Structure 1
């Protein structure tokens, strides 16, 4: 029940609005400045109806809610780099346009105009896609925490985005690149990428004691990442799937032994000339330079991971084994990523069945 009172010639009321879903603290709604008790009663009745319908009479702004949401939930659920990237999307792009609006006042027109403004500014479609994913997650949580009844993002159409087509090398190109980069600065990083499918950060975070020489196996437990102040450091891999053991081919073991014999004693496997962590950007630039020097099909460093997976699938390796080597959480991710390989595999199956029948 609202509590009404008169101070001077003005009326006010207080309503108990239950507990805040974030802080758990008791919340009260206070309104004042009414000329008559009847005006105050009418306003209080509307707020009570809204509360019963699930609306919030004290909806926060997008900045206020997102700050709480990121601090209380996102920070504890994702890696530091992911947290920093998502917060960057909100603070750099979303807050300047939508941040000061109350959550329940943001309409689908607001969001669609926001997306249009990003396109006009020349922001890449891939970046806009990432912004939309963070914005969707934020509004979904706001609805879950009962700050809004309807999720405006359910009615917004995200601008279309087509990822760049994956480029991979064939086995002849792989051999040519490995042979052509022998003796170069980061040759061992290239060999590891092509023969294991590891990510660049995982390669640069490797220690020599991660290798079991007898079993010819390499265990991945950490990755080299940038922290929130742009400093390099190693961090444990983000989940159990990323923490994995990969069996190495003999040629890779031989390359590692050769690399170790020429390297100064130390903990890290891939280092720069100052015996410190190699910068990911530096290794990527060196890779691009070597590709140009050898006049090969231009691909990204990360595409060596795709090349590894494609070669395995074309060799008929079980997709579950491929998923395990790549550190995918499930086989579906692998199948969706490398669907382009499946048509040729289907032909191989048909050819083998022809031999049987």
Structure 2
């Protein structure tokens, strides 16, 4: 329900509504309208957004409230159960513990990149990419679908790649090589008399 009042020569509206996720009573206030009619039109548009999306405040929505609602209402019906289960698990175990009490507009690129770097110390590159993909998609929707955030601060974040480990080169010692070559000889009375080719091949490889 919207309420209106005049402050000086400007009008403002105040919308009172119940958060669908938490059940708590919340308010949305905005002023600066020249006439009461302008305030009423703006309030009506805002009430439609609240009713349709469940989100209202421009960037002031708590990450915890937003992403849980986003998962339940906008992801669960549109993905396979196994996909939803994996996304919900990553949100619950990784995203919410770190970002739940932040507001959407409080997330900065620098702080988020540090968090991604920390995750790479615990998880593989692929796992971190999946976690980041979920969060980035949620933030993208906050900007382009729900219009509650002006821009997505984490859209160009870089996930550190896997560091290629040098493989240990295994080789024969001189003694082992001599022993091997001494055994790569044709077997007396063997069916395949040309097996000497192996002696020649490995001697060439070993001595080149």
Report the TM-score when normalising by structure 1: 0.32
Q: Is the contact made by 1:63 and 1:95 (CA closer than 8 Å) also made in structure 2?
A: yes
**Residue 142 (str. 1) matches residue 142 (str. 2):** yes
Q: CA deviation at 1:104?
A: 1.2
Q: Is the contact made by 1:112 and 1:157 (CA closer than 8 Å) also made in structure 2?
A: yes
Provide the residue aligned with 2:103 in structure 1. 102
Provide the residue aligned with 1:292 in structure 2. none
Write the distance in 1 (CA, Å) between the matches of 2:70 and 2:147. Answer: 13
**Map 1:67-216 → 2, pairs under 5 A:** 67-120=68-121, 122-143=122-143, 144-160=145-161
Q: CA deviation at 1:160?
A: 2.7
Write the distance in 2 (CA, Å) between the matches of 1:131 and 1:58. Answer: 21
Q: CA deviation at 1:110?
A: 2.2
Q: CA deviation at 1:107?
A: 0.9
Distance 1:28 1:4, change over 3 A: farther
5+ residue gaps, structure 1, are 6-12, 31-42, 163-357
5+ residue gaps, structure 2, are 34-38, 44-55, 164-208
Distance 1:62 1:145, change over 3 A: same
**Map 1:199-348 → 2, pairs under 5 A:** none
SS in 2 for 1:154: coil
Distance 1:45 1:113, change over 3 A: farther
Q: Is the contact made by 1:4 and 1:14 (CA closer than 8 Å) also made in structure 2?
A: yes
Write the distance in 2 (CA, Å) between the matches of 1:79 and 1:160. Answer: 28
Q: CA deviation at 1:159?
A: 2.6
**Residue-pair matches, total:** 132
Write the distance in 2 (CA, Å) between the matches of 1:159 and 1:2. Answer: 51
**Residue 29 (str. 1) matches residue 24 (str. 2):** no
Q: Is the contact made by 2:108 and 2:153 (CA closer than 8 Å) also made in structure 1?
A: yes
CA-atom RMSD, angstroms?
Answer: 3.7
Q: Post-superposition, which runs of at least 4 consecutive aligned residues in structure 1 deviate over 3 A?
A: 43-46, 55-58
State which structure, 1 or 2, has the greater radius of gyration over its C-alpha atoms: 2
Write the distance in 1 (CA, Å) between the matches of 2:149 and 2:100. Answer: 16
SS in 1 for 2:154: helix
Q: Is the contact made by 1:15 and 1:28 (CA closer than 8 Å) also made in structure 2?
A: no
